[in-house]
């Protein structure tokens, strides 16, 4: 098996392991996806299976605020924005789904910023 396929297999296994533990709880889920350039966050309602709100670094509404920032600073902005959108929709408490990424760096910065903006994780 080549290295890319092996890496993707390990990522998929890690993501499913995290998601299995997170889905047992009956509350909204803050799902984070991190790519090499961008980071995305969305809040999913587990009961109905729908997306409550979502935001990413590719959003045109945040482009002025994100220009000239490092990737970690962008993740903090996305964390504050997802917390603001969640409070508008009436979501106060979520469970954190980090996907395949480690709770470190940009993922941790996003979670800490969301907590700081009033979202209970």
**Per-residue pLDDT at 46:** 83
Which structural domains are found in the chain, ordered by start? Answer: 3-116 (3.30.420.100)
Check: CB of residue 93 under 8 Å from CB of residue 120: yes
DSSP assignment string, 28-95: EEEEEEE-SS-EEEEEEETTTTEEEEEEETT-GGGHHHHTT--HHHHHHHHHHHHHHHHHHHT--BEE
**Per-residue pLDDT at 53:** 95
Describe the strand order of the beta sheet including 94-97 as a list of residue ranges: 50-56, 39-45, 28-34, 94-97
Write down the pTM of the prediction: 0.89
**Per-residue pLDDT at 111:** 97
Task: Walk along the chain (121 residues) in steps of 10 and give the mean pLDDT of each run.
Answer: 92 89 82 95 90 94 93 96 95 92 95 95 88
């Amino acid at each position: 098996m080549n290295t890319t396929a092996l890496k993707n297999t390990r990522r998929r296994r890690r993501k499913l392991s995290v998601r299995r533990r997170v889905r047992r709880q009956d509350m909204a889920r803050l799902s984070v996806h991190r790519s090499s350039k961008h980071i995305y966050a969305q809040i999913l309602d587990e009961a109905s299976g729908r997306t409550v709100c979502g935001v990413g670094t590719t959003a045109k509404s945040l482009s002025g605020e994100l220009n000239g920032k490092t990737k970690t600073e962008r993740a903090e902005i996305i964390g504050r924005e997802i917390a603001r959108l969640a409070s508008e929709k009436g979501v106060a408490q979520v469970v954190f789904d980090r996907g395949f990424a480690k709770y470190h760096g940009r993922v941790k910065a996003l979670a800490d910023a969301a907590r700081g903006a009033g979202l209970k994780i």
